[in-house]
Amino acid sequence: MPAFITLTLNPALDLSTATERLQPTHKLRCGTALRFAGGGGINVARVLHRLGADVQAWGLAGGVAGAQVADLLAAEGVPTRFLPIAGDTRENFSVLETATGQEFRFVLPGPSVQPAEWQDCVAQLSQQTQGSPHGAAPRWLVASGSLPPGVPDDIYAQLARAVGGPGVRLAVDTSGAALSAALQAGVAVVKPSLRELRELVQQPLARAADWCAAAHSLVTSGAAEVVALSVGEDGAVLATRDGVWQAPAVPVPVATGTTGAGDCFLAALLWALDDGQPAPDALRWGVAAGAAALLSPGTALAHAADVKRIVASVPPPVAHALSA
């Protein structure tokens, strides 16, 4: 049984290219198209695999694009378990405008998933995370990414209840109603963006002290054991029962877009936590991986050598004092 299982309910075949400038109605001559296996959980699995973790990527997949996603992961050596669906796996498209360095992302909703398809996925994951006579349960289930049409908003909450038990920790990275429902059920780790945290707590969160207090409130309320908050150019915040820390972003040239940086952050953070590293050190690994992602085109994601090189330049996170 792998130590990590990642779940991607809405995987994608990610295509990326570049053009000098985006202009309406014009034919835009682009560079070579790059293709990657994409979707939140898949990206997390790819980075965990590069860091040497024992991981298996689960997902729902169908059609030609779904087969390409599976082939691309096989070429990277990432173990997979895809449950077939009748619909066709989506394709996403990103374009880097070289004249400005801006990245434009075109994200499709994905196929309509039938009730029997997603229910079978929940049932199989629940069974897998209970362990068996032939192997122990995984230590982590990482549910990451958007939901395709037809999948209920509370599916991650259903997973939290289904896999909840000794030894299996659920990490969730999603948004909107799916995020709210998961937190109501309670998870081990959640990774919201600052925008998502603002929506959750219905506050402007204008200052760093406000971010930290809001993140810690999710911990004290029992919604999550660990909150990893990404705040873009201001770095990231990690909140646990033991405290709250903030690490600055690492300056790297962003010439290839930022797609997948958050997934890389989460992967390295979980890898370090699973390794038993203290929360501030795990935060440094997450920040390093997020920065390393910016060095690669499209969703090529962070490479282990870059992560290990950059982590040395991430200063010790600053502990924030919280009011009683």
CB atoms under 10 Å from CB of 116, counted, come to 10
- Determine whether 134 is exposed, middle or buried from the number of CB atoms within 10 Å of its CB (0-12, 13-18, 19+): exposed
CA gap 53, 265 in Å, rounded: 15
What's the token pair of residue 217?
Answer: 């409130």
What's the token pair of residue 284?
Answer: 């440094």
pLDDT of residue 257: 62
CA gap 124, 116 in Å, rounded: 12
pLDDT of residue 164: 62
pLDDT of residue 142: 98
pLDDT of residue 103: 87
The residues, ordered by sequence, that sit 6+ positions from 151 with a Cβ below 8 Å of its Cβ are 9, 10, 113, 118
Characterize 96-108 residue by residue with b for buried, 16 or more Cβ atoms within 10 angstroms of its Cβ, and e for exposed.
bbeeeeebeeeee
To which H or E segment does residue 170 belong? strand 169-173
What's the token pair of residue 153?
Answer: 């908003």
Q: Which domains does the chain have, with CATH numbers?
A: 4-22+30-320 (3.40.1190.20)
Which active-site residues does the annotation give?
263
Question: pTM of the entire structure?
Answer: 0.94
What's the token pair of residue 298?
Answer: 């499209």
CA gap 91, 110 in Å, rounded: 8
Residue 289 and residue 302 in contact, taking contact as beta carbons nearer than 8 Å: yes
pLDDT of residue 324: 52
Amino acid identity for residue 281 in this structure: D
pLDDT of residue 132: 55
Q: What are the DSSP calls for 197-243, one per residue?
A: HHHHHTS---SHHHHHHHHHHHHHTTSEEEEEEE-GGG-EEEEETTE
Per-residue confidence of the chain (324 residues) as pLDDT tens digits? 899 999 999 999 999 999 999 999 989 999 999 999 999 999 999 999 999 999 999 999 999 999 999 999 999 999 999 999 999 999 999 998 999 988 899 999 999 999 999 999 999 998 888 765 556 789 999 999 999 999 999 999 999 998 865 679 999 999 999 999 999 999 999 999 999 999 999 999 999 999 999 999 999 999 999 999 988 888 999 999 999 999 998 887 755 666 789 999 999 999 999 999 999 999 999 999 999 998 887 678 999 999 999 999 999 999 988 765
pLDDT of residue 61: 97
What's the token pair of residue 33?
Answer: 């198209």
Q: CA distances (Å), 71 to each of 6, 35, 37, 89, 136, in order?
A: 17, 11, 9, 13, 28
